[in-house]
Structure 1
Amino acid sequence: MGSEQSQLRSKSKDGDGSNRASSPLRQESVSSEVEAPPPYVPYTVGRPIGSECIAQNICSKKSPPKRTWIDSDTMITLNNSRDEYDQEDEEIRRLENVSSFLPIMRGSSRDPDILERLDVRGFNALVQRYSNHLRYTSKIIKDTQSEINKSIKETEALSASVLDQMNKNSSSYSKYAEKLAKASVMSRALNKCHSSLNENIERMEVLNNMLPMEERLEPFVWTTG
């Protein structure tokens, strides 16, 4: 393989530039076959019937090997410095230092040790305190409700008395309205009388002027207060 590549390179150097441009030589590359890892075959604890056949079928259906072409002029380097990855994270270290724990209540009777680890005294104290708090708040709410009911009753009594007073005032106002209506009727009658009186005065003056001088009366004067 190496001798053929050297001969091809020497021929390409002796050729013309036009031949180089028109027919470039392709260098043969080294092929490396990379086989894919076999697929994972699940097994159960009891190895059910037919598991071996399934495993053989899966192993027989392997994917064809993949071929990767690597150029001969390409240089591959590997960086072996993994200092930044080797450094352990501080938070991960703290999480690893945390001791394992179990939930307070799991709701299952298969773990009696959990109930033994649970501090009943603290739980009873918490429940007792919560009960006392509810009792205290219920007492406050009861007193407040009684005060509100008392104030509502007082307001209802006051509103009833105000309503009675308003009914009395409305009846008296209706009487006053009737009297005012009568006064308006009287006013219209008085105006009519006044107009008729003025007409009579004018007629009396006309008649008085028709009399001789020695028989005339003094002019009639009507004053209204």
Structure 2
Amino acid sequence: MKQNAETVVTEQNQLAQSSKDIEAQFAAIMTALTERQKMYAKYAEKLARIHEVSHSLTRCQLALATALDSIETLNRQLPTSDRLEEFIWSTG
């Protein structure tokens, strides 16, 4: 009985040590994953900002196109001698 009890105690100690090792590895993995999530959250935030800027630029382009159309319409209503030159928008 004593020999069996010692064997059981030894195995229990090995299991306890293995459990501690696994727990330490799990904690390290969780720390690494948490850091990775923080990094990706920063990237996602930057992408969201880029999307907002892109959306703002699109709205500005639409507003500019509308303004230019209005200016052209008003310009056509002026007498020929008072008309402005046609505005040509070029990029680059």
Show the counterpart of 1:172.
36
> Quick one: distance in 2 between partners of 1:211 and 1:196?
22
RMSD: 2.1
TM-score (norm 2): 0.74
Q: Please tell me whether residue 199 in structure 1 is matched to residue 63 in structure 2.
A: yes
Matched, 1:190 2:48: no
Q: Which has the larger radius of gyration?
A: 1
State the Cα distance separating 1:209 from its structure 2 match: 2.0
Residue 19 of structure 2 corresponds to residue 155 of structure 1: yes
Structure with more of its chain in strand, by fraction? 1
Deviation of 1:144 (Å):
0.8
CA–CA distance in 1 between the matches of 2:65 and 2:12?
Answer: 77
Equivalent position of 1:139 in the other structure: 3
Q: Do the aligned residues in 2 keep the contact of 1:208 with 1:216 (CA within 8 Å)? A: yes
Which whole-Å CA distance do the structure 2 matches of 1:179 and 1:151 have between them?
42
Flag the structure with more relative contact order, 1 or 2, with Cα contacts below 8 A and sequence separation at least 6. Answer: 1
Q: Distance in 2 between matches of 1:172 and 1:208?
A: 54
The code of the aligned residue for 1:148 comes to Q
Q: Deviations over 1:96-119 (max 9, x none)?
A: xxxxxxxxxxxxxxxxxxxxxxxx
- Report the alpha carbon displacement of residue 171 of structure 1 after superposing the two structures with TM: 0.9
Alpha-carbon distance in 2 for matches of 1:211, 1:153 = 86
Q: List runs of 5+ in structure 2 lacking aligned partners.
A: 77-84
Higher helix share: 2
Identify unmatched segments of 5+ residues in structure 1: 1-136, 221-225
